[in-house]
Amino acid sequence: MTKVIFFDTKPYDKVNFDKLKAQYGVDITYVDSQLDEHSAAMAKGFEVTCAFVNATINKNVIDQLVESGTKLLAMRCAGYNNVDIQATCDRIRVVRVPAYSPYAVAEHAMALLLSLVRKIPHAYVRTREFNFSLIGLVGFDLHGKTIGIIGTGKIGRIFADICNGFGMKVLAYDAYPDPSLKIQYVPLETLFAESDIISLHCPLNESTNHLINHDSLKIMKDGVILINTSRGALIDSDSLLDALRSRKVGGAALDVYEEEKNLFYNDTSTQIMEDETLALLISMPNVLVTSHQAFLTNDALYNIAKTTLQNIQDWKNGAPLVNEVCIDCKNENMPLVCKKKVHP
């Protein structure tokens, strides 16, 4: 049996991992703590460490994992921007789950958009109090509106299909456009200027960090709607807050937030919110925030468990790691599949 320590455990994580672990020959120890510099020592004696999207896996953490005997870092998520890949080179192999359910995330993005523009949360709260007034609940049709989609990977493509179904005009931008797609690609500045709604589906890296900022917001239409189900740091939160106050942005629906690490996935309802920017965003009637839950469907959780356990089994058996991330692959021009011939 392969011994795995499983950080940042939630009840919904355990269901499918417990169902499948015997099939893959894996013995899992669950802990509540996120993986970071303070908790990394808990991995001592485990061949495999499994972590999630909000873990802090810097060089210090990698050093501790190496010292503790970890040989494989299995990320049960698609993103790996929180992992110091350079520090893992020739020391720990890193695998991820590149696609668990792109439909789940794309559908959540549309759910956020519909909820925001039709003011569903406000209507729900009113009727719970038997207030059936419609004053203040006027929305707008999506049909005929122009939506700009930034990032046309699997999620972005599915979201584009959904938007086409609503009769929207779809514009798209991608650093590496796919000419085989029947999508109208435009320069980023054109997308900013012509879109009524902008939805983010691109990865977070040096070129996309704070892609939505003071300067890009100035190019956008007055009253633009912003949707983010990708990574929080794609949006400069302070710039967004200013744009909401000035009415430049008509509304924002956020499933991610750039400072979410110690907030999302935790119950902080009995604590004073120290993050003033997030507190102000949530307080606004035209902002909708969910807690990084776009992936959270039964289908996606099963696929995450299955792929993660398959990654671990492949490593144990010396098979090719098709979902490996390494320093050779960090360049976006290359696929996220390891090209190295020799590994420790």
Residues forming the active site: 231, 260, 292
Pairing of strands 224-228, 249-254: parallel
Instruction: Report how far residue 230's alpha carbon sits from residue 109's, in angstroms, rounded to the nearest whole number.
Output: 10
Instruction: Report how far residue 212's alpha carbon sits from residue 224's, in angstroms, rounded to the nearest whole number.
Output: 12
Yes or no: say if 254 and 278 are a contact pair by the CB < 8 Å rule.
no
- Write out the two tokens for 284: 């606004």
DSSP-derived secondary structure letter, 235: B
Instruction: Report how far residue 81's alpha carbon sits from residue 327's, in angstroms, rounded to the nearest whole number.
Output: 12
Burial of 173 (0-12, 13-18, 19+ CB in 10 A): buried
Residue type at 247? R
Instruction: Report how far residue 253's alpha carbon sits from residue 265's, in angstroms, rounded to the nearest whole number.
Output: 18
Yes or no: say if 257 and 237 are a contact pair by the CB < 8 Å rule.
yes
SS (H, E, C) 90-152: CCCEEECCCCCCHHHHHHHHHHHHHHHHCCHHHHHHHHHCCCCCCCCCCCCCCCCCEEEEECC
Residues, the chain, total?
A: 344
**Which residue do the tokens 């759910």 mark?**
111
Phi and psi at residue 16, in whole multiples of 5°?
A: -80, -35
C-alpha distances (whole Å) from 262 to each of 50, 55, 259, 274 are 18, 10, 8, 11
- Write out the two tokens for 176: 């590496």
